[in-house]
Amino acid sequence: MSSIGISSSISGLMAASQTMQASMVKMANASEGGDMAAALADMITSQVSFAANAQTLKAQSDGLGQLLDVMA
């Protein structure tokens, strides 16, 4: 339950969020000749990445909680 793991998960969440924002801009501009399929693929990828990082952060939090319960 190191701070490195937590930092990594948070960084992953932030990166996925930024990718999602960029994908939404691409999607909005798709009517002006943009590639809607690529934007949609990026949105799905960032959604999966966000979910995976959130699950990792939850597992780290749960593990820390169990460790504190054992130590108490």
pTM attached to this predicted model: 0.75
Q: Give 38's contacts (C-beta < 8 A, 6+ positions apart).
A: 26
26 within 8 A of 7, measured Cβ to Cβ: no
Model pLDDT for residues 22-34, shown as the tens digit of each residue = 988 988 887 777 7
Q: Give 69's contacts (C-beta < 8 A, 6+ positions apart).
A: none
pLDDT of 1 > 80? The answer is no
Model pLDDT for residues 9-63, shown as the tens digit of each residue = 899 999 999 999 998 898 888 777 778 888 899 999 999 999 999 999 999 888 8
Please indicate whether residue 2 or residue 22 has the higher confidence score (pLDDT). 22
C-alpha distances in Å from residue 30, one per residue of 5, 34, 44: 37, 4, 16
Give the span between the Cα atoms of 29 and 37, in whole angstroms.
12
Q: How far is CA 29 from the centre of its chain?
A: 23
